[in-house]
Each structure stands twice: as C-alpha cells, then as structure tokens.
Amino acid sequence: MKKFTITLLASLITIMSFSCKSTKYDSPTESPDPQITFGSGGGFTGAVTDYTLLENGQLFKRNSMKNEFLAMHKIKSDVVEQMFKNYEFLKIGEETINEPGNLYYFIQFKDKDKNEHKITWNDQSAVSDNVKTYYGILSSITKKN
C-alpha cells in the first residue's frame, strides 16, 4: 500500500508540473494567445525591426530584411502582466493614429481572437503622451538587465 501511495503521489506531481508549464513557441506566429508587437522602421533601407511580447513572457525580435524571428530573454510574469494591463489602462487601443512618415514607430495588439489594432506615428506626429510613455516602457524590456 505504501509503495502504491508513493507511486501515485509521484505521478500526480509529474502531471502537475507539466500542466503548470507554459507553452514555449519557436515564433510568435505559433501562439494563439494575445500579443503585443512594437518597433520602428523606415529610413533609407526601409528595414523594420519589431519585437513581439507573448503572454507567457517570451520576447521575439524580427528583422524585416531576413524575416526571421530571434527568441530573446524571457520577461518576468509580473512585468508581462503589467504591460498587458497598461495597454488597456492607458487606452492605447483607442488611439487611431496612422502617420508612418520616413522614420516611424508602431504598436500593434493582437487579441486571442486574432483581432488586431495598430497605431503608427513619426517624430512629427501629434501622438499622446500615453503612447510615447508606453512605447518607451516596451522598448526598455528589450534590454536584458
């Protein structure tokens, strides 16, 4: 009986450890969960560099010239949760600016139903302080501390 109990307990722990792990993706296109993509582009080459933050904390970098995703460092869950909450709190989804210009910045939110909202602006655009602040915070998470 004792052997059975130990085996059952070990099995339950194993099952629980697998169910608690979040799924790891090789690219953000594989993830069905909400995601925030942000970056900049334009200039002489027209290249775009963007980053995609997934709800599970994975961060990807993409260079449009190669169209390859590079998995970066994982972002702490409390930071990820705050970034998704700030998108709502700062009402970024209510912004309607679409002014790319020569050099531009963008933030795109994709929800679980694959609905997308994207804003694009340049240095001369009349963009809200909320957008500028949010973009700055997003950019700061791309640098590993």
Under the banding of pLDDT at 50, 70 and 90, the label for residue 12 is very low
Region 78-88: mean pLDDT is 96
- Output the six-digit token pair for 21: 């792990």
Residue 84 confidence (pLDDT): 96
Lowest mean pLDDT among 9-18, 40-49, 88-97: 9-18
Specify the higher pLDDT residue, 116 or 44: 116
Checking if the pLDDT of 92 tops 50, the result is yes
- Output the six-digit token pair for 118: 């994207």
pTM of the shown model:
0.81
Residue 20 confidence (pLDDT): 44
Q: Where are the domains of the chain?
A: 24-140
- Which CATH number describes the domain made up of 24-140? 3.30.1560.10
Q: Which residues of 90-127 are buried (b: 16+ CB within 10 A; e: fewer)?
A: bebeebebeeeeeebbbbbbbeeeeeeeebbbbeebeb
Checking if the pLDDT of 144 tops 90, the result is no
Q: Of the candidates 63, 67, 69, 86, which has an alpha carbon nearest to the alpha carbon of residue 28?
A: 69
Under the banding of pLDDT at 50, 70 and 90, the label for residue 35 is very high
